[in-house]
Every structure is written in C-alpha cells, then in structure tokens.
Structure 1
Amino acid sequence: MMNSPAAPNPVRTGALADVAVLMPAFNGQADVERTLASFAEDALIYALIVDDGSTPAIVAPDVPGMQIEVLRMPKNGGIERALEAGVSALAERGFRYAARIDAGDLAAPRRLVKQRTRMEAEPRLAALGTWTQVVNRAGEPLFMLRPPADARTLRKTRMLRSPLVHPSVMLRIDAVLDVGNYRLQYPAAEDLDLFLRLMERYDCANLPELGLYYELNEGGISATKRRKQIMSTLRLQTRYLNVLNWRDWAGIGKNLLHLVMPYRALQKVKRAVFAGAKS
C-alpha cells in the first residue's frame, strides 16, 4: 500500500506519550514545517506526516520538542487513503489518540494536552474537536467556527452544520478502527462519513475554546473538489436522515443551495453569518 521503512520505535515519554499528531500532506513542504512548529506543549510530541505522493518528497523538519516520522504513499491517492493509512500506522505503533491537523493550519497552545485530558475523563468520547478561527493566507481573521460542545446537541445538528472541524479533532484510534477507519465511499467528505459512524456507537464533542487556526485556502479540498464534496455530503444526509428532525431537512436544503451558489459568494455569506453570530 505504501513505501516506508520499518516502523520506528517512537519515544514514548511524558504527558502526551499516547498521542500522535496525524497530518496528511501533498507537496507544500513550507506549510508542513510551519504547521508542526506551531504546536506548543509542555511535553514531547510525536507527529506522523503521511506524504501522499509529493514531488519532491516531504522531508521531516527539525522541530524542537517533536519527533517526526514521514510515511510515504507510493503515489498520490487522495486524503481518504492517506488518513486510512495513517490511522493504521499509528495503531501499529501503539498510540491511543490521533490529533488531526492539515498543512497550513496552526495549533493553539496546549491544544493536545487539553483534548487528551478531556478524552481520558470521558471514555465514551471517540472524537473531540475545538472551536476554530478561520484565517486567510496572510493570517488575518475572517470568522470563528463555534460548533456545539455537547454530544447530544451535535447529534441533533449533525446534518445542519459540520459537527466538528476536522483538522481540530483528536480521535480515539481504537474507536476509529472499530467503525471501519477512514474510507473511500464518500470522496471529499471522509470526515463527515467517519463522524456519523462514530456517533452511532460513541460520543463526539467539542471543547468550547480556541484550538485551531484554520487557513482558508482556495486551492484546498473544499474549493477544488467542492461539487464532489457536496454530492458526497448529500448522500450521507440521505442515508442518515431522521425524518422527524427538521434540522436534517434544513441541512439537505442548505447543501442543495451550496450546489448552485458560486464558491466566492458562499464564503461572503459565511463571513456575514458568523460575524453576526459573534456580535
């Protein structure tokens, strides 16, 4: 499935000994380095970069306080395959938690230890996200994403809005494997597919505080694969539809609107809506 050396024996000490940062990457060496350097924790951090066929290949940067491994896929196969391979590799290495982030995004200080502490205290949690500040390429704030914090509300609103911001999430690896890992059936909506399956057996929640600075990149998946993402989301909404929950119907209607609305116009609407929610 991939070309990589034999699995190393990661240093497993400190408060984050069972946590690994999981970052898929395709090209963008500078973004990879900037993202990994953003982590500020009082413990050694292990990070797994899944290089999805980059040219030239991603090189593990030298980041103080961090042990970094690069897992190389034989060719570019998409984020779904890269994440599936990454979770499996972390399970083989004995990690309990995978903390997602994407190249170009930045972590808020002590994000990892806060998420791990909460997940250790609540064993039913399979995924824990955070609030997220959306920024442009220059790092200027655009709007905040504040998904509901509690598991019950997330279940009610999971079709109306994204229940968790994917790059902010810490995942329990055994739970992810229990529901079938990341998979390919819903291209560009692999995160929602995973979250919905997790919610059938476990709880998902959000820390009601800033944990991530998410870079809105018009070359990213949400922009370049937008129609595919919307169609996959609509398929998931239909599959998991609760006909008695008006929010599920509203979510379908919202995605149908997204299907016909230009991407730039949609981003303007989002900024206006989230700015209004803040005031």
Structure 2
Amino acid sequence: MTTLEARATPHNSLADVTVLMPAYNAQADVERTLASFDEPATVRVIIVDDGSVPPIVAPELPNVAVDILRMPKNGGIERALEAGIEALAARGCKYAARIDAGDLAAPGRLFKQRAYLEAHPNVAGVGMWTQVVSLEGKPLFLLKPAAAPEDVRRLRFFRTQLVHPAMMLRVDAVRAVGSYRATYKAAEDLDLFVRLMERYDCANLPELGLYYEINEGGISATKRRRQVVSTLKLQLRYFSALNVYDWLGLLKNLLHLVTPYTLLQRMKAALFAKRA
C-alpha cells in the first residue's frame, strides 16, 4: 500500500481528504462510483476490501489516486470502516469522506464539504442532500435533511438526518468517540452519529451531494429487521422523553418491524413525491 500525502497545499485543497469506501465483491460498482467524482483537485481514495473473491482491483482513473486496504477475511462493514479510519489516522488524514460502491457523487461534493468543515471547527460531520435512485438510475425521491446542527440533533431518531455515504467526517472526532463498532449491527452509522453529537455538532449542506442507489441486495434490504432492531435499541439507549420527535421516531420504527420492505419503499416514494 502506498502512502497518501495528507497535507493540504494551495494547489490541492483536498490533500487532507480521503474517500473511505468499504467494498465486498463489487468491482464494477467500485469503478462506476470512483469515476463519478468531479473535483478541482486529485481525489484520494482508500478502498477497504472486505475479503472479496476475487480481490478488488484499483481502477486507473484520471485525477483519482486509489489505495486498497485488504481485510484478511469478510468481517462486515463495521470492522471494515473501523480499519479504514485507523489507516487514515495513521497517515495523518484529517477528513474521511464516505461513499458506498454503487453510489455516485455530485460534482464538487468533496470541495464543498471540506470548506464547510474548515469554517466550522465544532462540526464533526457534514452531509448533503441525497437523490435516491433505482438500480436503473431512475429518480425515486430526494432526501433533504435539516441543515442546522440543532435540528439534526432534535430529529435524529424521527427521520434520517445524516445519510452515511454522503458524509464527510473528522477522523480525530470519530476516533475520539470510539470509532465504528459492531455493537448495533447494521446501524453502525446511526450509532456513530449519536455518539458524535454528544460531544460535537453534525450538520448538512442544503444541496445535492449524492445519488444513492437502492440495492435490493444491500444492508437495508437483506438485514432490514436487524437494522430496525438495532435502531430501536439506540433509540431506547439515548431516548429523551422531552423530545416529541424521539417518541415519534420510536413509533415509526415499531411500525417498520411489521411493514414489508417493498411496501415501505413505495410509501417513501409517494411521500417524497408530494414534497418535491
């Protein structure tokens, strides 16, 4: 593995940013995702290959520098992300920009998020609006979470406020709160965000940053019940009786336990279509 330069210069304002992408048996998706980045400087990427067979190969793309961290065996996204964060910390990388194989980045996403974090030192993570699309690329609905940290914190259990693959995170802040962990299976992102918001702020830029592909073979589909149960455990662990949105979020996730996944996706699409 080569060492990525982590010190920003006037000629490369993304030198302290690295895209963190876990991947498992997804070579074509990895190539498509990395090809979507359109930034004013070199995009640095670390792919955490979580035991793929055959192993993920780094694509050769203009203005994209790719390293691969290979896990000895498939251990799950939580361990892959934790290993990725530790690798970035060892290199002195300041910011980790998340994205998943199969998703596409909007132009200038990294540049905008880094500028926001540089201007807001108490913000540990910043997300962006996300266009949800089908596997065929058909727009389904647009996620427009709250921008202000106080709103993100207040609504954290009611509706998705921080879309994980659209986030840029401070590496030191992630490590300070215990990094990614497998305590809440399939909800490792919400677990991290809740812990971050106990010590820092999290926010969103109110503009499009990501095209998120709904994959029926992804975590949200294949491990949905586990994800909902883990989310409910997190809600109970951090529940605030004075926050009406915590009550509403609890009710919402109880309903998710008995709602078929396909029906839930149709309901979401109909809801967001009315707001568009």
TM-score, length-scaled by structure 2? 0.97
Structure 1 distance, partners of 2:273, 2:208, is: 16
- 1:29-81 per-position Cα deviation (integer Å, ceiling 9, x unaligned): 00000000100001011100000000000000001101100100011111000
Q: Is the 8 A contact 2:5 2:16 kept in 1?
A: no
**1:84 counterpart SS class:** helix
Q: Is the 8 A contact 1:126 1:198 kept in 2?
A: yes
1:132-147 alignment runs, 5 A limit:
132-147=130-145
Number of the residue aligned with 2:70: 72
**Matching residue within 178, 181, 188 for 1:180:** 178
Q: CA deviation at 1:167?
A: 0.2
Structure 1 distance, partners of 2:155, 2:73, is: 37
**1:206 counterpart SS class:** strand
Structure 1 distance, partners of 2:87, 2:26, is: 22
**1:130 counterpart SS class:** strand
Letter in 2 for 1:49: I
**2:124 counterpart SS class:** strand
Q: Is the 8 A contact 1:99 1:170 kept in 2?
A: yes
Structure 2 distance, partners of 1:232, 1:11, is: 37
- 1:84-128 per-position Cα deviation (integer Å, ceiling 9, x unaligned): 000000000110000000000000000000000000000001000
Q: Is the 8 A contact 1:162 1:192 kept in 2?
A: no
- 1:245-278 per-position Cα deviation (integer Å, ceiling 9, x unaligned): 1110110110010100000000000001111122
Number of the residue aligned with 1:204: 202
Structure 2 distance, partners of 1:234, 1:192, is: 11
Letter in 2 for 1:215: E
Structure 1 distance, partners of 2:161, 2:82, is: 20
Number of the residue aligned with 2:3: 9
Q: CA deviation at 1:11?
A: 3.8
**1:275 counterpart SS class:** helix
Structure 1 distance, partners of 2:5, 2:243, is: 47
Letter in 2 for 1:36: L
- 1:224-253 per-position Cα deviation (integer Å, ceiling 9, x unaligned): 000000000000000000001111011011
Structure 2 distance, partners of 1:236, 1:9, is: 37
- 1:120-145 per-position Cα deviation (integer Å, ceiling 9, x unaligned): 00000100000000000111100000
Structure 2 distance, partners of 1:44, 1:154, is: 31
Structure 1 distance, partners of 2:78, 2:129, is: 23
- 1:141-170 per-position Cα deviation (integer Å, ceiling 9, x unaligned): 000000100000111111101220000000
Aligned length: 272
1:95-106 alignment runs, 5 A limit:
95-106=93-104
Number of the residue aligned with 2:258: 260
Q: Is the 8 A contact 2:187 2:230 kept in 1?
A: yes
Q: Which runs of 4+ in 1 moved over 4 A?
A: none
**Matching residue within 18, 34, 38 for 2:36:** 38
**2:32 counterpart SS class:** helix
**Root-mean-square deviation (Å):** 0.8
1:1-279 alignment runs, 5 A limit:
5=1, 8-12=2-6, 14-278=12-276
Structure 1 distance, partners of 2:39, 2:82, is: 26
Structure 2 distance, partners of 1:253, 1:9, is: 47
Structure 2 distance, partners of 1:9, 1:225, is: 35
Structure 2 distance, partners of 1:156, 1:164, is: 12
Letter in 2 for 1:119: L
Q: Is the 8 A contact 1:11 1:67 kept in 2?
A: no
Structure 1 distance, partners of 2:66, 2:217, is: 26
**2:57 counterpart SS class:** coil
Letter in 2 for 1:127: G
**2:151 counterpart SS class:** helix
